[in-house]
Amino acid sequence: MNEKDGAAQHVPVLLDRILALFAPALADHPSILVDATLGLGGHADALLSAHPDLTLVGLDRDPQALDASRRRLARHGDRVHLVHAVYDEMPEVLGRLGMSTVDGVLFDLGVSSLQLDRAERGFAYAKDAPLDMRMDPTAGKTAADVLNTYPVKDLARILREYGEERFAGKIARAVAAERDREPFTSSARLVQLLYKTVPAATRRTGGHPAKRTFQALRIEVNGELDVLAAALPAALAALHAGGRIVVESYQSLEDRLVKRSFAELAKSRTPEGLPVELPGHGPQLRLLTRGAEQADEEEVARNPRAASVRLRAAERIGEAA
């Protein structure tokens, strides 16, 4: 499948809900939205089509995704600014473009369809491939580097914290023993080791034995949680009053970070017991979702990648920080 075909077949998750959430912030006036995780451009294309006065800034660390989106979004002309950047670089990107505040920010986190569908990128444990897992294949350490060079205690910590893997220590020790014999290069060999290491009872009830380890390696390779922790405050600070942020997460660690970031700014900072809100101490966000929203059964049947999505959204109230 080439990138053009991938863009055409890509099904954006919760697209109608995202269009509805952003509509009040983007309608009937010139507006700016940052798509912080552009991917194959499905959400971006729909938002640009729905709002003729919208300017979109699309960020992605993956040059292949940017190339595919550039072709897909070409019909929108100079309303589109695509930038090769990780989303925690948003303040610098906006500064270079002369944009101080924006009307919307969208995060669609996790692995893109392009990355999952291209076996050579090494994200999918169902296909044998080089152990890469870099979202930007031009820079940084690979999953093989992590497996072959990290001390056992660090490897166990990553598997436990980022993969929520019960057998982190056991897997880390097995990896160390195996890499002493021969360094890891392919996903099939790692999957084979995990089948041997994860107890059979867990394999029968806990899903694919490689799922948690692959998630942990991917998060470590790409610094995903550290990047998100830095990017969320920057995105919220960039919103002007009435601006909206929508975040789609696909695993609990990401969703927890988003939940905490939103909750912190949605509460009053006036000390308890005072009869009035202190100036400048009121909530800075209004939550637009009750908890995290999920895709319904119909969407999941149509697009299985929507099964794990958790969507949260909020609106800036008052002045941007």
Would you call 308 exposed, middle or buried from its count of C-beta atoms within 10 A (0-12, 13-18, 19+)? Answer: middle
Residue recorded with tokens 């309608």: 27
> Which residues does the annotation place in the binding site?
41-43, 60, 87, 108, 115
Q: Distance between CA 152 and CA 175 in Å, rounded?
A: 8
Sign of CA dihedral 219, 220, 221, 224: positive
Q: Distance between CA 246 and CA 235 in Å, rounded?
A: 10
Token readout for 60 is 């992605």
Contact of 33 with 57, CB cutoff 8 Å: yes
The secondary structure of the chain in percent helix, strand, coil, rounded to multiples of 5, reads 50, 15, 35
> Which residues does the annotation place in the binding site for S-adenosyl-L-methionine?
41-43, 60, 87, 108, 115
CA distance to 181, 188, 281, per residue, from 184 (Å): 10, 10, 53
Closest CA to 60 of 75, 79, 74, 42: 42
**Number of continuous H segments (helices) and E segments (strands) in the chain:** 15, 7
Between helices 152-163 and 168-181, what is the axis angle to 10°?
Answer: 130
Contact of 59 with 34, CB cutoff 8 Å: yes
Q: Distance between CA 101 and CA 124 in Å, rounded?
A: 37
Contact of 12 with 46, CB cutoff 8 Å: yes
